[in-house]
Amino acid sequence: MRTLQCWRFTSILLVFTALCSGSFSLVQAAPPRRSPPAPKLPDLKSPADKKLFLELIRNSFSAVKKSRTLNFDSEDLDQDLERNIAKGTSTPFAPIADDETFIRRASLDATGTVPSREQIKAFVASEDPKKRAKLIDELLESDAYARKWARYWTSVIFYDSNANNNMVNRQALENYLFEEFKNGTSWDRIVGELISASPQRVKDKKPQDNGWNQDYGPNNFILACENKPEVIASNTARIFMGLSIGCAECHDHPFDNWKREQFHEMAAFFAPGRYYMTDQDDPSQKSVVDAKFLLGETPPPTLKPDQRRVAGAAYLIYNPDNYWFARAYVNRIWNELVGDGFYSVDSLGPDKEVTHVLTVNRLGATFRYSGFDPRWLLRVLMNSRTYQRSISTVEKPEDLFTGVRPSRLRPYEVSANLQRLTGDLGGAQKSIETTFDANPSVPQRDLEGSIQQALLMMNNSTINSKLAGSSLKKDLVKIKDDQTLVTEAFLGVLARSPSPGELIRYQRFIKEGGNRDAAVDDLLWVLVNSAEFTTKR
């Protein structure tokens, strides 16, 4: 046992000697003594070896060790924001949203699904003062939670990917992420596996026949980047640190302080061998560039390519000076939930505009201390008053977070929202998801609907015929009381009760329509084609 403990201690010291330098050094080495030679750094070729190695580093990560003594809960978040916002605006805070609004919003945010009429009624009728917190816990433990966020991050990774479809398996990545989110795997472990992956071409196998091992989910981040060091470096910084460094590939970044050399030093972490940078003035000339992380950490030049990728993952995730990793995740999730980020998504950088910097710093730090737990972050945010406020249109930066910005549903959420009413839409599902597709890294305030989206919803024959034969339609035509019919239609389609004005207007429409069956079809068509149907309110 003593020999094993000594070996493990020596191995961890070797890890930090090999992978950590400068400010990234987490262990203070003892004065040199005569001792047996330390074990060699393993090759780290297999995914299992890489995960084990990163876990050794994680277990010595000081932020994780502090987690028991540090906290930042929903009340802390609200007090921070309410105190700071009050200093800069005269705009009143929006009131807390009603129960119908909350259950639909929380269900969409946590699981990408809309609650049923029965779920809405039961939630509204409950007098339990803790029902919102209990609902959040229930949603976050569901398989639908894991599937929603697996789809979201798969979309983030593959959006604008130029990879050949034969060498990637998007569904394999989504399924991998689903299992990880379902099992409560921490964000650092997920990203560590994605970044350190090194898919290799399988000899005598066609690309479409798993020739790049793309059926192994984690390989698909690298493959979505075409297995090119420059693309991997750009997307690693953008997606996982919120830093847009891509413009520095050819020249110094025109708006940030990133230099061309920094970009290529980052790319060198992902090269299969030596990495060469083309001369800016003479493309025929190339020079060798050694790996160096964006914040200045330099691994030993003797590291093999797979070891160097693990070093890059360690610098990205566990470098105590790299607060961008945690902050980028917090900012993305905050933007998804309330429609605005503390920073613009993918625009964090040291010179970028930020709102309430102390609050996002505290959230990011405590996300680290929580062990990068995605469910912890969602619980804190969704239980806050800030998240639970009614929607409002935000015009001035100082009014951010006085209310929640109405935001568009993701394409797979629009599709799921329709199919809960119509059942399987067949080929129309792909048309819906393609037409409503939008870059998940674009802030909600910059997303707009299109004429194509409106025309698809109004005129698609499959949608209209399925809606006319839906179980909701069959339930509605059996209802004799017009007020009840209208109320059930609103609950079924928009997941809310009609306003008094809507109730009067649609009761009159049903009564004066003559043909009750056709009037119900028209009512459902109007509600499905409202902007509210494809919007999170």
**Residues 493-514 pLDDT 10s:** 999 999 999 999 999 999 987 7
Per-residue pLDDT at 162 exceeds 70: yes
Range 367-384 average pLDDT: 95
pLDDT in the model for residue 250 = 65
Q: What is the pLDDT of residues 333-366, one digit of tens each?
A: 999 999 998 888 877 767 677 888 889 999 999 9
Range 39-54 average pLDDT: 85
pLDDT in the model for residue 12 = 41
| Helix, strand and coil percent figures for the chain, each rounded to 5 | 60, 5, 40
pLDDT in the model for residue 295 = 87
Cα–Cα distance measured from residue 253 to residue 410, given in angstroms and rounded to the nearest whole number: 31
Cα–Cα distance measured from residue 477 to residue 518, given in angstroms and rounded to the nearest whole number: 10
**Beta-carbon-side half-sphere exposure of residue 529 (alpha carbons within 13 Å):** 18
Per-residue pLDDT at 76 exceeds 60: yes
Q: What rounded mean pLDDT belongs to the chain?
A: 88
pLDDT in the model for residue 446 = 86
Give the chain's end-to-end CA distance (angstroms, integer).
59
pLDDT in the model for residue 474 = 96
Q: pLDDT-derived band of residue 95, with 50, 70 and 90 as boundaries?
A: very high
Residues in the chain: 537
More confident: 349 or 529: 529
Cα–Cα distance measured from residue 418 to residue 457, given in angstroms and rounded to the nearest whole number: 10
Cα–Cα distance measured from residue 46 to residue 196, given in angstroms and rounded to the nearest whole number: 10
Q: Residue 278 belongs to what H/E stretch? A: strand 276-278
Is 91 exposed, middle or buried (CB count within 10 Å of its CB: 0-12, 13-18, 19+)?
middle
pLDDT in the model for residue 5 = 36
Range 147-167 average pLDDT: 97
Q: pLDDT-derived band of residue 14, with 50, 70 and 90 as boundaries?
A: very low
3-state secondary structure 413-440: HHHHHHHHHHCCCCHHHHHHHHHCCCCC
Range 9-25 average pLDDT: 42
pLDDT in the model for residue 111 = 98
Per-residue pLDDT at 168 exceeds 70: yes
Per-residue pLDDT at 25 exceeds 60: no
Cα–Cα distance measured from residue 245 to residue 259, given in angstroms and rounded to the nearest whole number: 9
Residues of the chain with CATH 1.10.3130: 422-537
Q: What is the pLDDT of residues 265-301, one digit of tens each?
A: 999 999 999 999 888 778 888 899 999 998 888 998 8
Per-residue pLDDT at 417 exceeds 90: yes
Question: CB within 8 A of 233, min separation 6: which ones?
Answer: 245, 263, 266, 267, 269, 270
The alpha-carbon radius of gyration of the chain (Å, integer) is 26
pLDDT in the model for residue 205 = 93
pLDDT in the model for residue 443 = 84
Question: CB within 8 A of 198, min separation 6: which ones?
Answer: 45, 222, 272, 305, 306, 309
pLDDT in the model for residue 278 = 86
Residues of the chain with pLDDT > 70, as a percent, come to: 88
Q: At what angle do helices 461-468 and 427-435 cross, to 10 degrees?
A: 120
Per-residue pLDDT at 23 exceeds 50: no
| DSSP structure string for 210-277 | TTT-TTSTTHHHHHHTTT-HHHHHHHHHHHHH----GGGGTSS-SSSS--HHHHHHHHGGG-SS--EE
Cα–Cα distance measured from residue 500 to residue 261, given in angstroms and rounded to the nearest whole number: 64
Smallest Cα–Cα separation from 248: which of 239, 237, 240?
237
More confident: 23 or 34: 34
Per-residue pLDDT at 35 exceeds 90: no
In this prediction the pTM is 0.90
pLDDT in the model for residue 27 = 37
Q: At what angle do helices 187-196 and 170-182 cross, to 10 degrees?
A: 150
Per-residue pLDDT at 132 exceeds 90: yes
Q: pLDDT-derived band of residue 65, with 50, 70 and 90 as boundaries?
A: low
CATH class of 422-537: mainly alpha
